[in-house]
Structure 1
Amino acid sequence: MGRSRLMTRLVALGVEEEFHVVDLVSRRLTPQAHVVLDGLPDKSFSAELQQAVVETNSTPTPDLAALRADLVELRRRLITGAEPHGLGIVGSGTAPLHGTEGFELTADERYEYLLDSYQFIAREQFICGGQVHVEITDRDLAVLVAQRVQPWLPVLLAVSGSSPYWFETDSGYASSRTLAWQRWPTAGPLGPFASAAEYDQAVADLVTSGVIDDRGMVYFDIRLSAHVPTMELRVCDAVPRVDDMVLLAGLFRALVVRETDAVEAGAPPRFDQRPALLRAATWRAARSGLSGDLISPLTGKPGPAGLLLETLLEELRPTLEALGDWETVSALALEAVRLGGSAARQRAAYRKKGQATDVVDLLLRETAEG
């Protein structure tokens, strides 16, 4: 049943990527996003809270090859707009060379509210994420599917881990961005919710509490979009390699589609959904990335990251094959494991000469490669 449904219905997906703006001479983070964005269309390019960050938005598509081509073109346009001004574009969870001198708030009433309300959390928002949107029109279904997908999100976080450096010091984590992000009051696991009405009431209660100002400030690891009929993956670091972003998008869509079929077939949830265990698994992924153990949602026990990613691939194989994504996603997953993750590559670049500028050069190069 699930397979025939997939064969007749295309499931669109889209990606938002955030990038750091760096000075090409010093290789340091610099608050000049406005210079890069000048002349670029608002539809595809936008500012963020910090003037040192820019965001791109891909065009929704059901095709991973088309998504990849779009992401490459968006990066190319950003880089082309930055280089004449002596600026570079870096895709990673944090920039290796950054400090408080990079802080400059983007002129916007919403961002001013964030700074006033959250203080140092907003001031230290020198982080970039990669978000994936997958089409799902039934919101009651989406709430149930999101909770079933959630136990696998730490594996996707591990694939994306690209922020070992925090304020120019090795944090000891593959994703220091995750630790910084989790300081926001609504960040973390979703649910439990039995319906869209329960989800919406919880969001309304958060707004009523005054802790957040509107629905857009719900920062669950996976959430329902407040504006369009999609489910959003929000747990991942930004990544330098475009192929890793395509891998994350392909895996996330397959998880959503598989669990949609399972809910519609009446299959019960397979995994423990306790928030404490979900947070522990997320912490483990942020700590280890692809270089250590992750917590398996199948057993609750630690195991090598590469093996758990392989397990996820095999679990998703029927869905990936039905979507026409198996060859692409499996090849990208094998390559990601072979390369060892961005955090490990950054540390290796630093060890060669002990120069953080070499790490920035690596990230500049990988971000630009199509």
Structure 2
Amino acid sequence: MRTVGVEEELLLVDPETGEPQALSAAVLARAAQDDAEQDVFEKELHNQMLEFATHPQSGMEELRAEIVRCRKEAARHAGEIGCTVAALATSPLPVSPSVGVGRRYQWMAEHYGITTQEQLVLGCHVHVSVESDEEGVAVIDRIQPWLTVLSALSANSPFWQGKDTLYNSYRSRVWQRWPSAGPTEPFRSAERYHRRVADMVATGVILDEGMIYFDARLSQRFPTVEIRVSDVCLHSGTAVLVATLARGLVETAARDWRAGREPLGHSVSLLRLAAWRAARSGLTEELLHPATMRRMPAETVVRALLDHVGEALAETGDLDRARATCTELLRIGSGAGVQRALMKETGSLRDVVTECVRITQA
């Protein structure tokens, strides 16, 4: 069974006002006081962000437990210095982000200007184990059209600088400003993948391989495919669903590769349109069907994804829970829908953040 690990980026906020707080260094220092060898929490581009990474897990119940534990630990460390955490992919309230002081972050600020300043966006990255780079690239080639469905399911960023963007995942639109971000056409081999990466680094537009921001890429540090399209999910259960579907996609793609089935091979132009549609609509309207690239109701497209990975999920015992969670999301909406419902009910973005803090730690 393939292992799965999740990286989540959390927003540090004031527990009273809901405003983002640039306190990541203090939170990390507090975590290090508890455990000098802790390797769970990491700094990120902006000082208002805190990242954690789970250990690789084979079972989804174990993954769920670790995500919940890491969120609670993050909240505990943050609380000890006067702030808290929220699983929000953008800040609903206005914010002036501050870039971290590291050499890498300062290079990005100098080279990319306002793009770096405005990248206070928070994602969920899923690592799924693969046997080799060759298998990993074959997987990347075959999962591309399906990744937009993960974007729609995880959509959790409707607000930006105090306004409703009319998008469900505005984070993904901001993220696309990086020069290396987005979908890719089939590479066909690991050699071609690595050559493309080397050519991109050689341009000098990006600093190194760590700035290869493909929607799905080979991890530099682990024998995994890293899927990077999702907003950080408001509910931990949604994060587990995304991880479950990601593993199903990887396993299904690897089997298709071994059976000699070719990738769908949609152009980047079509994949970008599908990604835009998912960001705009989330689960509330139509999406582009990954096989046909034609508009269909979101529910139909989600069911198509479940059918596509159904055999793989059934073998790991995850199919029934994935179906149930998808049904619930289609009923109540993703995190973006929850945020908008809270805003309609309370009329206050501050109250939206306060309730999302509670949900994050539930």
Matches within 5 A, 1:118-197: 118-197=112-191
Match of 1:337 among 323, 326, 330: 330
Q: Which position in structure 2 is the counterpart of 1:348? A: 341
Equivalent pair of 1:294/1:305 in contact (CA under 8 Å): yes
Worse-superposed segment, 106-115 or 214-223? 106-115
AA aligned to 1:52 is Q
Residue-by-residue CA offset, 1:303-357 (whole Å, 9 max, x unaligned): 1112211221122211111122112222222222222111111111111232111
Q: Which position in structure 1 is the counterpart of 2:52? A: 56
Worse-superposed segment, 90-99 or 54-63? 90-99
AA aligned to 1:159 is L
Matches within 5 A, 1:26-45: 26-41=17-32, 42-45=38-41
Displacement after TM superposition at 1:190 (Å):
2.0
Q: Residue 131 of structure 1: SS of its match in structure 2?
A: strand
The answer to whether the aligner puts 1:83 opposite 2:79 as a matched pair is yes
Task: Please give the alpha-carbon distance, in whole angstroms, between the structure 1 residues aligned to 2:94 and 2:57.
Answer: 35
Task: Please give the alpha-carbon distance, in whole angstroms, between the structure 2 residues aligned to 1:361 and 1:292.
Answer: 28
AA aligned to 2:26 is V
Task: Please give the alpha-carbon distance, in whole angstroms, between the structure 1 residues aligned to 2:279 and 2:272.
Answer: 10
Q: Residue 38 of structure 1: SS of its match in structure 2?
A: helix
Q: Which position in structure 2 is the counterpart of 1:18? A: 9
Displacement after TM superposition at 1:135 (Å):
0.2
Q: Which position in structure 1 is the counterpart of 2:320? A: 327
The answer to whether the aligner puts 1:69 opposite 2:65 as a matched pair is yes
Unaligned runs of 5+ in 2: 33-37
Equivalent pair of 2:2/2:58 in contact (CA under 8 Å): yes
Displacement after TM superposition at 1:39 (Å):
3.1
Displacement after TM superposition at 1:67 (Å):
0.4
Matches within 5 A, 1:207-218: 207-218=201-212
The answer to whether the aligner puts 1:285 opposite 2:281 as a matched pair is no
The answer to whether the aligner puts 1:273 opposite 2:277 as a matched pair is no
Equivalent pair of 1:79/1:89 in contact (CA under 8 Å): yes
Displacement after TM superposition at 1:38 (Å):
2.0
AA aligned to 2:287 is L
AA aligned to 2:242 is L
Matches within 5 A, 1:311-326: 311-326=304-319
Q: Which position in structure 2 is the counterpart of 1:4? A: none
Unaligned runs of 5+ in 1: 1-9
Worse-superposed segment, 33-42 or 152-161? 33-42
Residue-by-residue CA offset, 1:250-301 (whole Å, 9 max, x unaligned): 00100100110111111222x2421000000000000001111100012221
Percent identical residues: 37
Relative distance call for 1:353 and 1:69 in structure 2 (3 A) is: closer
How many residue pairs align between the two structures?
A: 357
Task: Please give the alpha-carbon distance, in whole angstroms, between the structure 2 residues aligned to 1:62 and 1:364.
Answer: 28
The answer to whether the aligner puts 1:228 opposite 2:222 as a matched pair is yes
Task: Please give the alpha-carbon distance, in whole angstroms, between the structure 2 residues aligned to 1:159 and 1:92.
Answer: 14
Task: Please give the alpha-carbon distance, in whole angstroms, between the structure 2 residues aligned to 1:318 and 1:104.
Answer: 46
The answer to whether the aligner puts 1:307 opposite 2:300 as a matched pair is yes
Match of 1:109 among 93, 98, 103: 103
Q: Which position in structure 2 is the counterpart of 1:264? A: 258
Cα RMSD (Å): 1.2
Equivalent pair of 1:291/1:341 in contact (CA under 8 Å): no
Task: Please give the alpha-carbon distance, in whole angstroms, between the structure 2 residues aligned to 1:364 and 1:307.
Answer: 32
Q: Residue 315 of structure 2: SS of its match in structure 1?
A: helix
Displacement after TM superposition at 1:86 (Å):
2.7
Alignment TM-score, normalising by the size of structure 2: 0.96
Q: Which position in structure 1 is the counterpart of 2:35? A: none
Task: Please give the alpha-carbon distance, in whole angstroms, between the structure 2 residues aligned to 1:40 and 1:95.
Answer: 24
Q: Which position in structure 2 is the counterpart of 1:7? A: none
Task: Please give the alpha-carbon distance, in whole angstroms, between the structure 2 residues aligned to 1:46 and 1:40.
Answer: 10
Task: Please give the alpha-carbon distance, in whole angstroms, between the structure 2 residues aligned to 1:306 and 1:28.
Answer: 35
Task: Please give the alpha-carbon distance, in whole angstroms, between the structure 2 residues aligned to 1:273 and 1:310.
Answer: 20
Q: Residue 319 of structure 1: SS of its match in structure 2?
A: helix
Residue-by-residue CA offset, 1:105-159 (whole Å, 9 max, x unaligned): 2221111111111111111111000000000121112112111111011100001
The answer to whether the aligner puts 1:47 opposite 2:43 as a matched pair is yes
Q: Residue 226 of structure 2: SS of its match in structure 1?
A: strand
Worse-superposed segment, 302-311 or 223-232? 302-311
Residue-by-residue CA offset, 1:18-43 (whole Å, 9 max, x unaligned): 00000112210111112222232541
Equivalent pair of 1:25/1:86 in contact (CA under 8 Å): no
